Structure 1
């Protein structure tokens, strides 16, 4: 079977090519990829090429398929797995394989295994490690977004709290406590807000800060204060550029007590330090943002570490359990990962999108490998509809859904592009 895929051949060298897939082995599974969400970590891999720890040295001769946030349908199942999976099953992939200590994972390391492809082969380790996950929902986009959502969920599980002279960590955010998300009106922050106000372990107070007025306005219009209140959470959106002293203002919202949990969504020193300064007693600061500078550092008040039991947590990625939680909540309609999506495109758009990702505004870029569409902002559908009736129809569909990507839009784009 032939496939088309966007592959890394070297530093800053991604090419969309058609090539032949081998016949699957008894311990492999052939799948059709329906959607893939592009991650900033793919940009890092493309920029570094074989210098990236997950990218093999021989990519010039054996290029690797990009994309690790993908979903689709099973096409053919090797004999070993036929009692567990069948053709037509919908799936998502947990990319953090960690197979026998290997750093390799889909989207970085495999010749035939990655999300920016029309068809891909899942190797034996994917199934042996329980990383091929069945999906019971309808939207393939939502299944693709389960991976970034799992990173969000994992961070909330990783926070911890203590009791005086009880030498045990109590995992998770403080239920009924005060929680702040800093620099968090972007795509991952949107996912976090959605999860917090709909999960089974909620704070009583949630404060979301950012300095981008447009991002804050969008977040507030989609994940509303009223929706949070209906779920028992008092939600505040704060532009820290528009208050005299951002740190003091955030503290005032807690009546001076400080926050039990603070999540920092940007690797910016003043933001990290603000996060530490607004912690209350036994407060946990989670450094969620992944810096590219391996010497990145910030100050932390160790007086408060000693006398107020403040502490730090951090995670990179989510576990398989976190991803299953995301898929289950999505399938039930409890959360809507599509709040993160701002752009749609086809396979040909992948190289330019990945290599320019930091310069493209907005949130998640969602790729449908079987369609022909340049990367297009959802906000531009209406204008493009003046010349193309298909975009006019897409614009009407998303307008009826608060401007968000949705199942109806997905079905339309697959059928018409």
Structure 2
């Protein structure tokens, strides 16, 4: 299976525009600049009292968490109010998507400034580990030497009958375990001796980071259909083919820092981490096939577009068409009939999945996964698989379901937004 690299030839149908996310840079800039001003203002109030690096990093994390939590709360409450007044739920999905895009961008920018502190902390931890293991290695080797001498002595005693074969086998097992532990210890010491200088040489170059990392939105967030009850699905991928071990480890630490900032701000995400050279065959299993559409229709937030395309192509080449489609068909056929007064708006018959699964099957058939549903519908109109009216009816059905999901999520959203950040 091969993934089409471009969807630029898809015709624009104006009647689909109300259901399409328009990435307005001015709105995103407004969120980011407001957040940056808020962070700077709050940081200036405590900066002078912070001296030690670990304390400095912890203070910056605390400032980010409290500032972004308050901003996120205020903005989400505004979106909730708008959702009760708008005629098109896609406007709410787009507004919420833009807000989260801006917060992720701000978290990255904030974390990038912290790279020297992250590097210093990491080098300190790795040096501590190296010193400990170097001190431990001679003791391990001495124990192994004594074990070998004892086993040689036992071999002599076995011949004379003064030592049991059971005892001898036991000491052989102990020797094998110590040899394995010593070998692992030596390998880790060698790894650390190479890794630490590479990390120390890591430069705080934003272009380098963005050329070797991509952060992308997955699932409903990737389609810019982020509802008030939706999971905030993020993905990270490193271009490990072009990174040494130290550079890769620094970017992993950067990702961990970003996720910590988001989680502590009340913007918890369901995230997946990938390396471009890793084995992806596990995703061709029945229990993981359902995650593939969220990658293929993902939307780049920042970083390398080409890296994101390479990851999508690798996923598309890993999956086997027939099992993939059969798994989607099975998911569709196993959907429950909604009860008279109760319905799962996402999974039951007539819910979102009833609309999305046929679209995913069609996308896999043609090898094209645009990030937005409206673009896929436009493609299907071009292929004469849908009429204009059918595409419009599908969009209207999606709009209605999203509106209903948002409305049903209001009480829970309001409760969650009142929880304090720890």
TM-score, normalised to structure 2, is: 0.20
**Greater share of residues in strand:** 1
**Greater share of residues in helix:** 2
TM-score, normalised to structure 1, is: 0.20
Q: Greater RCO between the two (CA within 8 Å, min separation 6)?
A: 2
Greater CA radius of gyration, 1 or 2?
2
